[in-house]
Amino acid sequence: MTTRNVQPEFRMVTPHGRGAIATIVLSGEDGIVIEAFNRHFRRAGSNQTGFPLNRILYGTWGRQVPEDVVVCRTDEDCIELHCHGGQAAIGRITTDLECFGIRRSESDSVACIAEDDTRLHRDLSRALINAPTFRTAEILLQQSAGLLRSALEDALDSDRRVARLEQLLLRAEFGVGLTRFRTVVLAGRPNVGKSSLMNALAGFFRSIVFDEPGTTRDAVTLRTAFDGWPVELIDTAGIHDAISEVEREGVSRARERMNTADCVCILIDRSEPLCRDDRELLDAWPNAVVVAHKSDLADICGKDLPSTALPVSSLTRDGIDALVRELVDTLIPDVPAPGTALPINAYQVDLIRQALEATRQGADDIAVQLIRSCIE
Ligand code: GDP
């Protein structure tokens, strides 16, 4: 993995998300990288210093609480470091590097893609690096294995071009969405159980759960996967008639997040009568997924709730699976059949749109050029 750069810098080459191991690649020609290693790295069981080429060295990083690492100098001015994948270990090492004047590369893992590759191959590699789950990576791998290239090459044929480009555009949203987390905002008045539901959906305890309205002042976000689809859950401040300035700010941010979310999930505490805040929320978000929460308690709301409301208890986990299925159906209504070609980034979608427009206007040469720009 050669990454020649005059400026000393480091980049993460493992993708975001949870991973057992993280890899950091350092490069730079002025010796500062080696200096940083001499300062922070201790080779296990040996007083030897120096970093011979292509030798894998085991040791520790830092002095006070040493972090286990494996390093390898892969080039004169390039060292790879592998450490525990947790944020604490990565944060500690990268902070040391930054304090040493080695900056974080803005391109991170993307820079490891060979620049002489075709545009299509680079785009696919970049998407694969950023695929948050196995399921999305599998679909992107199918595209890499020639699916997308054949579809684009097929579109060079003037007889099939319009149909081909239209098919690709139909799947644009799904394809571009493979590298991102779809957002679900949990909304409802304070104490309705948003934090508890977030924990139940993610399968573990994370945000503060406290029996007093207004505990969650601003949003807590958590990334997880539902059925292999990457999802970001956002637990907002309770939507209610806020009293203090801080609460009002929280409520206004919650509303902003609801406006930009892929899906809004409204929680109603069905063990209490429906109040004005509940009704306003339901009226303002008619397409929201509605949860009749605390279904382990007696149902007081009854027919006041929409008939589609899903009974869920975060306490007993009853209804959680049905809610996950409903959220997946809302976030990803149509999953293309395996083997379907898809555009995978905004650049491709833009060029395909332009190529379709050019074809419709009879500008065949321009259309061909635009399609070739996606490939070459
Ligand atoms: P938030 O303010 O909307 O985030 O609400 P919390 O998640 O902090 O929960 C408020 C209170 O409701 C806590 O005492 C929780 O234990 C309780 N609670 C949450 N979910 C359930 C549930 O499904 N059933 C019952 N009975 N209580 C729940």
Do 162 and 215 sit in the same domain of this protein? no
Do 103 and 23 sit in the same domain of this protein? yes
Q: Is residue 328 part of a domain?
A: no
pLDDT of 240 strictly over 70 = no
Do 127 and 107 sit in the same domain of this protein? no
The CB-based long-range contact list for 161-165 (8 Å cut-off, 24+ gap) reads 161/355, 161/359, 161/367, 162/356, 162/359, 162/360, 165/352, 165/355, 165/356, 165/359
What spacing in Å lies between the alpha carbon of 263 and ligand 1's midpoint?
21
Do 199 and 135 sit in the same domain of this protein? no
Q: What is the pLDDT of residue 1?
A: 44
Total domains in the fold of the chain: 3
Query: What percent of the chain is predicted at pLDDT more than 90?
Result: 55
Do 79 and 198 sit in the same domain of this protein? no
Q: Which of 66, 83, 112 is the last residue of a domain?
A: 112
User: What CATH number corresponds to the domain at position 55?
Assistant: 3.30.1360.120
Q: How confident is the model at residue 249 (pLDDT cuts 50, 70, 90)?
A: confident
Q: Is residue 51 part of a domain?
A: yes
Smallest CA separation from ligand 1 atom 22, residue: 294
Among the atoms of ligand 1, which is closest to the Cα of residue 198? Answer: 7
What spacing in Å lies between the alpha carbon of 291 and ligand 1's midpoint?
13
Mutate to test the pocket of ligand 1, among 209, 265, 291, 313 (most ligand atoms within 8 A of CB): 209
pLDDT in tens, 272-331: 999 999 999 999 999 999 999 999 999 999 889 999 999 999 999 999 999 999 999 999
Q: Is residue 329 part of a domain?
A: no
Do 184 and 247 sit in the same domain of this protein? yes
Do 313 and 183 sit in the same domain of this protein? yes
Q: Is residue 325 part of a domain?
A: no
Tally the residues of the chain. Answer: 376
- Check: pTM over 0.85? Answer yes or no: no
Do 186 and 312 sit in the same domain of this protein? yes
What spacing in Å lies between the alpha carbon of 192 and ligand 1's midpoint?
6
Which residue is associated with the tokens 């945000």? 207
126: containing domain: 117-171+336-376
Phi, psi of 24, rounded to the nearest 5 degrees:
-120, 130
Q: What average pLDDT does this structure show over 91-97?
A: 91
Q: What is the pLDDT of residue 34?
A: 87
What spacing in Å lies between the alpha carbon of 193 and ligand 1's midpoint?
4
Q: Is residue 331 part of a domain?
A: no
pLDDT of 370 strictly over 80 = yes
Among the atoms of ligand 1, which is closest to the Cα of residue 314? Answer: 23
Do 212 and 291 sit in the same domain of this protein? yes
Q: Is residue 268 part of a domain?
A: yes
Q: Which residues line ligand 1 (CB under 6 A)?
A: 188, 190-196, 209-211, 215-216, 238, 293-294, 296-297, 313-315
User: What CATH number corresponds to the domain at position 212?
Assistant: 3.40.50.300
Per-residue three-class SS string for 88-100? HHHHHHHHHHHHC
Do 2 and 85 sit in the same domain of this protein? yes
Smallest CA separation from ligand 1 atom 25, residue: 294
Q: Tally Cβ neighbours within 10 Å of residue 50.
A: 11
Do 41 and 153 sit in the same domain of this protein? no
pLDDT of 56 strictly over 60 = yes
Smallest CA separation from ligand 1 atom 27, residue: 294
Do 265 and 366 sit in the same domain of this protein? no
Q: What is the pLDDT of residue 4?
A: 46
Q: Give whichever of 64-78, 175-189, 191-205 has the largest mean pLDDT.
A: 175-189
